[in-house]
Structure 1
Amino acid sequence: MDIQFIDPVLEVLEEVKSITGKGIEFIQKENLPTYAALQMARINMPSHLIYYKKEHDEIINHLIVHECGHLLRTFKCPENLRLIPYSNQRLKYDALKKIENEIEGIKKILSEDQIAHIINLWYDGLIRQVTNFPPDIMIEKWIYNQFPMLRSLQLKSIKKQHADSVSGLTEIVRKITPYTILFASNVMNYAFFRILGLHIGQNFTRQYSSTSYIGKGKELAAITEKDYINSHEGDNIMIEKWANYLNISDWFKWRDFEDVPPDYGKETSVNNSK
Structure 2
Amino acid sequence: MPAHALLPAVNRLLQQVEEVSGLPVAVAQQADLGTLATVRPATEGYQAHLIAYRDADEASSYHVAFEAALLLRIVQVPPEQRVNLTEKREAREKVVAQVEKMFKGSIGLAQARQAGLRFYDGLMLQLRSTGPGLWADRWLFEQLPELRGLQAAVLQGQVQQNVPCLNAEVDKMSPAAVVKASRAMNAAYAFQAAELVGIPPLAIPYQAAGFEALARELIALTRAEPTTADPDREIIDGWAEKLGLSRWYVWKTP
TM-score range, shorter chain: 0.7 to 0.9
Summarize the alignment of residues 34-113 of structure 1 with structure 2, pairs less than 5 Å apart. Answer: 34-54=35-55, 57-87=57-87, 91=88, 93-99=89-95, 102-107=98-103, 111-112=107-108, 113=110
Q: Secondary structure at the match of 1:57?
A: coil
Q: Secondary structure at the match of 1:85?
A: strand
CA–CA distance in structure 2, aligned partners of residues 20 and 115 of structure 1? 44
Summarize the alignment of residues 1-274 of structure 1 with structure 2, pairs less than 5 Å apart. Answer: 2=2, 4-54=5-55, 57-87=57-87, 91=88, 93-99=89-95, 102-107=98-103, 111-112=107-108, 113-203=110-200, 204-225=202-223, 227-229=224-226, 233-256=230-253, 259=254
Q: Secondary structure at the match of 1:248?
A: coil
- Runs of 4+ deviating beyond 4 Å: 222-225
Would you say the 8 A contact 1:102–1:179 is kept in 2?
A: no
TM-score scaled by length of structure 1: 0.81
Q: Secondary structure at the match of 2:59?
A: helix
Cα distance, 1:140 vs structure 2? 0.9
Deviations along 1:147-170, one digit per CA (max 9) or x if unpaired, are 111111111111222122112112
| Distance change >3 Å, CA 100–CA 15, structure 1 → 2 | closer
Structure 1: runs of 5 or more not aligned? 260-274
| Distance change >3 Å, CA 143–CA 218, structure 1 → 2 | closer
Q: Which has the higher contact order (CA 8 A, sep 6+)?
A: 1
Cα distance, 1:69 vs structure 2? 0.8
Amino acid in the other structure paired with 2:149:
S
CA–CA distance in structure 2, aligned partners of residues 12 and 46 of structure 1? 19
Structure 2: runs of 5 or more not aligned? none
Cα distance, 1:127 vs structure 2? 1.0
Cα distance, 1:114 vs structure 2? 4.1
Cα distance, 1:104 vs structure 2? 3.6
Q: Identity rate of aligned residues, in percent?
A: 26
TM-score scaled by length of structure 2: 0.86
CA–CA distance in structure 2, aligned partners of residues 99 and 212 of structure 1? 24
Root-mean-square deviation over aligned CA pairs: 2.5
| Distance change >3 Å, CA 224–CA 50, structure 1 → 2 | closer
CA–CA distance in structure 1, aligned partners of residues 124 and 155 of structure 2? 20
For this pair of structures, how many residues does the alignment match? 251
